[in-house]
Structure 1
Amino acid sequence: MTDTTQTNQHHKTELPTAWPGELKALLALGIPMALTQLAQFSIYTIDILMIGRLGPTELAAAALGTVVYFLLWMLGFGPVMAVSPLVSQALGADVADRDNVRISVRMALWTIVFMSPFMLVLVILTEPMAVLAGQDPAQSAKAGAYVLALAAGWPFALGTMVLRNFLAALGKTRIPLVLVLLSVALNAGLNALLIFGMFGFPEWGLVGAGIASSISYMVGFFLFVIYINWDKKSAPFLLFKNLFTPHWQRLREVVRLGWPISLTTVFEGMLFNACLLLVGLIGIIEIAAYQIALNVVALAFMLPWGLSMAGAIRVGLAKGAGNPMAVKRAGILTVITSVIGIMLFAVPIALMPETIAGLYMDAAKPDNVLVITLVASFLPIAAAFMFFDAVQVAANQILRGLKDVRWPMVATGISYWVIGFPAAAYLAFATPLGAKGVWYGLLLGLLSASILLSYRFWRLAWGVR
C-alpha cells in the first residue's frame, strides 16, 4: 500500500505580504497555543496542590519522581517538535501535500513507540537510582511507584503534542485548547477520586495521582484522534491511514531533527535542576524560595513559549514556500512579540516582588517571612533574565522552523553548562551573593544563549533562498 492520495498540482501556501498581516497570523496561532501550554502545565500544578494535602512526605516523593518524569519528557520532546518544521515546510511548499504531512506525523508517532521500552527501563530504575543518590529508601520507593503510574501516560502525552503540532500547522488551535482543558478537568476529578478515595473509589494516594494523570493523557490523545478524523480541514489528510506502514527515510529525518532538540531541552531543563542542587547546599529556606520564584517564571514563560512555537510554524511555512522575506518577517515578529509578551509579566514582577511572593505563602505566619523575603529578592533578577529567556526561546524555535537544530544544541550547551552553571556556582559560593548568585548565573547563561541563537537566525535568514 502507498500513501498517495493527491494530484500532481502544487499550490504554495499563501502568505501575508505585509507586517500587519503576518502579525495577525502569528497572534492567531500563538495566543491559543500559549493558553494550551498553560493548561497542560496546570495538570502538573493541580497534581502538586492535591498531593500536598497528603502531607510533606508524599509531596517530597512526588518532587523526586517528577525530576525523573520530566527527564523522560525532555528526551521524548525532540520527535514531537520535529513534526512542526516537517509539516509546516511541506504545507508551505504545497498546501495540498497530504501524503508528506501524513508520513511525517506517522513516523513521529513511531519514534515515540520505539522510545517507550527504553523509557520504561529508566522508570523502573527510579527507586534504586534514588537510593544510590542518597535519598531515603522509603521516599525512593514512593517516588518509584509514582513515576511508574505516571509513565503509563507518557507516550499518550507526547502523542497528543504531535497531533497538536499537526493541527497548529493547519491553523487549528482553538479546539485543541478546549480538548486540553477537558483533559485538565478530567485529571482534577480523577485526582479527587483516586488520591482521596471519594465516592467509594480506592484511596491510592500518591500512586492515584499518577494513575489519574495517565488516564487524562490517554483520554486526551483519543479526543484528538476523534477530532482530527471529524474536522473538515484535518480529516482529508487521512492522518491514520497506513499507520503501520514504515517510511524509513522519513523516520531517519525525524530522528535526525529530534535528537538535537531533545538534547537542547535537556541542557536547559537540567540547568534549573542543577541550580536547585546548588541552592540546596545553601539551605532549606533557600530551596523553598527558589522553587516559588521558578514557578512564577514558568507561568510567565507560557506566553512567549506559545508565541515562539507559532513562530516556528510561520517560519516553516515561509521557508517551504521559498519566500525569504516572509521568513525574515515571521522570525523578527516572533522575537518582538515574545519579548513584549514576557514583559507583560516581568515588569509587575520586578515592581511588586513582595506582593507576588505573598501570593504563595501566608505572610502572617512568622515561619514564612524569611522565605517571602528571599523570593522577593530573587524576583527582580528573574524579571531581568526573563527578557533574555524570551529572546532565546523565540530564536531557538524559529531556527527549528528552518530545520536548524544542531547549531542551537551546541550554542545552548555552551551557554548553560560552560557559562551559566559555572557562573552560578562561583557567584553563589565565592561571593557574598549566596542564593542570589545562582539567579545571576542563570541570567548570564540565558544572555549568552539569546545572543548566539539570535546571531544564528540573522545569518541564516539573510541567506535563505
Structure 2
Amino acid sequence: MTTTVSMTPGAEKGPWRREFFALMAIGLPMGLTQLVQFSINTVDILMIGRLGPEPLAAAALGIVIFYVLFVAGMGPAMAVSPMVSQALGADENDTRDVRRSVRMGLWLVGICAPIASLIYFFVEEFAVMTGQPPQIAALAEPYVLALTPGLPFALGVIVLRNFLAAIDRARAPLYVIMLTTLINAFLNYLLIYGNWGFPRLELVGAGIASSISHAFGFFMLAAYIGWEKRAKTFELFHNFFNHDWPRFAEVARLGWPISITIGFEAMLFNAAVFLMGRIGVNEMAAYQVALNVAAIAFMMPLGLSMAGCVRVGLMEGAKNRQGVRRAAAMAVTCSVGAIMIVAIPVMIWPMTIAGFYLEPGDPHNGRVLGLVASFLPIAAAFALFDAIQVAAGQALRGLKDVRIPMILTGISYWVVGFPVASYLGLSTPLGAVGVWWGLLASLAAAATLLGGRLWLITRD
C-alpha cells in the first residue's frame, strides 16, 4: 500500500521511526482537532462561569445529561474508523467498501439521535429524582434542549473526521473546527450576555450557539469531501439515500460495544457529578472546572490514540502482524508523553489554573477555587493511567476487538471505580476529594486490564 508517510523526512531511518512519523502525520492534526473541538464546551464553561456558581453547576449537570446520548451515538461513529482502515489496508483503491461504511455510519447517527433525544424533555424530573438541587435542575433542562439540535451534526462530524483520517486528510477537520470554535465564541458573546441588541439568554444562549456551531462544522466537512481530490473519489454523498442494510447492520454490530465501552467511562465521570451534587453546589461547580482541565489534557492523547486505531487497522488489513504490534506500542508511548506535557504543570500550579475559570477576587468564588485546587493534583496524577487505557482501547478497536474490552472497561469503572468513589465521597471525611480518588482507581484498573489484553493478543 502506498502512503504519503514514506515521503516524510527521516522516514527512511527504520520501521520504528517510520511508524512514529506515520502516527504523527495523522495524530497531531487529530489531537489538535480534539482539543479545539472540545474547546467549544470549554468556551461555554468559561463564559457561563462569569454568570456565577449556580449557572456553572447547571451547565455541568446539563452537559452530563446531554452526553448520555452523545456517548451512545459515538459507537457507530467510531466504528467507521477500523472498518475504513482495514478496507484500505487490504486495498487502498476499494472506494466502494469505504463508501458503504461511512454512509451507513451517517445513517445510524442521523436516524437514532433525533429519536433518542426525546428523553431530554424530562431532564428536570430526572435530575430532581437523583437528588440534585431543584434550582439547578430547572436551569439545566432548557440548556440541554438548546443543545439537542446539534447532536446529530456533532456525531456526523466524528464520522467524517474518521473517514478523512483514514485517507490521510486529517488536517482539514482541524481547520474547520477552529473556525467552528470562533463562531461558537462569537455567538456565545451575543446570546449569553445579550450583546449587540440580541436577547440575554444565558444558558439557553450557550446551547443555541453550540448547536449552530456543530451544524456548521458538519456541512463544512461535507463540502470539503465533495471538493478535495482524493476524498471526492469515494462519492460519499452520491445516491446517499440508497439503503445498504447489511452494512448498516455491520456498523451497528461493531458500534454497540464501542458505545457501551465509552459509556462505562463517561457515565462514571458523569455519575461523579451526581455524587458531587449530593455533597454541595460548590463541590459540583468545582468538579466541573477540574474535570474540564483534565479533559483538555486528555484531548491530545485521545487524538493520538485515534490515529493509533487507524494505523493498527491499516496494518491489520494488510496482514502485517509485526506492524500491528509496532503501531500499538507507538500509540501508547506517544499518548503517555503527550498527556504528561499538560499534567505536570497542572500538578505544580493548581490554584493558578483554577483562576482562569473563576474570578479569584470575588469572595463568592473562594470556596470553589479552593476545591478546584485540591482536585487538580489528583486529576494530574491519574493522567498517566488515562493515556494508557485510551491508547490500548483504541488499538484494540483498530483490530475490531470490541466485546472483551467492553467487559474489562465495565469492571474497571463500575466494579472498582464507582464503589470506591461513592464510599470515599459520601461515607468518609475525604468528601469530594474522595470521589477523585475513586476516579483514579478506576483508570488504573482500566489501564492494567486493557493494556494486558492488548499485549496478549498482539504478542504472537
Change (3 A) 1:351 1:53: closer
Report whether the alignment pairs 1:73 with 2:70: yes
28-37 vs 275-284, which moves further: 275-284
- 2:381 maps to which of 384, 398, 402: 384
CA distance in 2, matches of 1:299, 1:57: 23
Deviation at 1:58, TM superposition (A): 4.1
Runs of 4+ in 1 over 6 A off after TM superposition: 12-17
Q: Structure 2: which 5+ runs fail to align?
A: 7-13
Matched letter for residue 35 of structure 1: L
Deviation at 1:427, TM superposition (A): 3.0
Query: What are the within-5 Å matches in structure 2 for residues 177-192 of structure 1?
Result: 177-192=174-189
Contact 1:260 1:405 in 2 (8 A): yes
CA distance in 2, matches of 1:202, 1:356: 32
Report whether the alignment pairs 1:329 with 2:365: no
Matched letter for residue 425 of structure 1: S
Q: Where does residue 6 of structure 1 map in the other structure?
A: none
Report whether the alignment pairs 1:176 with 2:173: yes
Query: What are the within-5 Å matches in structure 2 for residues 406-417 of structure 1?
Result: 406-417=403-414
Q: Where does residue 435 of structure 1 map in the other structure?
A: 432
Matched letter for residue 143 of structure 1: A
CA distance in 2, matches of 1:188, 1:31: 24
Query: What are the within-5 Å matches in structure 2 for residues 329-348 of structure 1?
Result: 329-348=326-345
Change (3 A) 1:309 1:374: same
Matched letter for residue 36 of structure 1: T
Matched letter for residue 128 of structure 1: E
Deviations, residues 295-340 of structure 1 (Å, cap 9, x unaligned): 2211111111111011000000000111001100000000000111
Query: What are the within-5 Å matches in structure 2 for residues 352-371 of structure 1?
Result: 352-364=349-361, 368-371=365-368
State how many pairs are aligned.
453
Report whether the alignment pairs 1:102 with 2:102: no
Q: Where does residue 44 of structure 1 map in the other structure?
A: 41
Q: Where does residue 291 of structure 2 map in the other structure?
A: 294
CA distance in 2, matches of 1:139, 1:281: 12
Matched letter for residue 230 of structure 1: W
Deviation at 1:266, TM superposition (A): 1.3
Matched letter for residue 150 of structure 2: G
**SS of residue matched to 1:153:** helix
Change (3 A) 1:358 1:182: closer
Matched letter for residue 315 of structure 1: V
Q: Calculate the aligned-residue CA RMSD, in Å.
A: 2.3
The percent of aligned pairs where both chains have the same amino acid is 57
Deviation at 1:380, TM superposition (A): 2.6
Change (3 A) 1:54 1:293: closer
Query: What are the within-5 Å matches in structure 2 for residues 228-307 of structure 1?
Result: 228-307=225-304
Matched letter for residue 312 of structure 2: V
Q: Where does residue 417 of structure 2 map in the other structure?
A: 420
Matched letter for residue 380 of structure 1: P
385-394 vs 182-191, which moves further: 182-191
Change (3 A) 1:203 1:14: closer
Deviation at 1:349, TM superposition (A): 2.3
Contact 1:15 1:326 in 2 (8 A): no
Q: Where does residue 7 of structure 1 map in the other structure?
A: none
**SS of residue matched to 2:240:** coil
Contact 1:12 1:93 in 2 (8 A): no
Change (3 A) 1:347 1:136: closer
Q: Where does residue 119 of structure 1 map in the other structure?
A: 116
Change (3 A) 1:135 1:344: closer
CA distance in 2, matches of 1:137, 1:424: 24
Deviations, residues 405-462 of structure 1 (Å, cap 9, x unaligned): 1111110100011011112223335544333322222111111111110111112112
Matched letter for residue 357 of structure 1: A
Deviation at 1:68, TM superposition (A): 1.8
Query: What are the within-5 Å matches in structure 2 for residues 120-135 of structure 1?
Result: 120-133=117-130
Report whether the alignment pairs 1:33 with 2:30: yes
Contact 2:53 2:285 in 1 (8 A): no
Change (3 A) 1:378 1:128: closer
Q: Where does residue 82 of structure 1 map in the other structure?
A: 79
Report whether the alignment pairs 1:163 with 2:160: yes
Deviation at 1:362, TM superposition (A): 4.5
Change (3 A) 1:424 1:85: same
Deviation at 1:188, TM superposition (A): 1.7
CA distance in 2, matches of 1:42, 1:342: 17
Contact 1:75 1:262 in 2 (8 A): yes
Q: Structure 1: which 5+ runs fail to align?
A: 1-10
Change (3 A) 1:129 1:287: closer
Matched letter for residue 250 of structure 2: E
Matched letter for residue 244 of structure 2: H
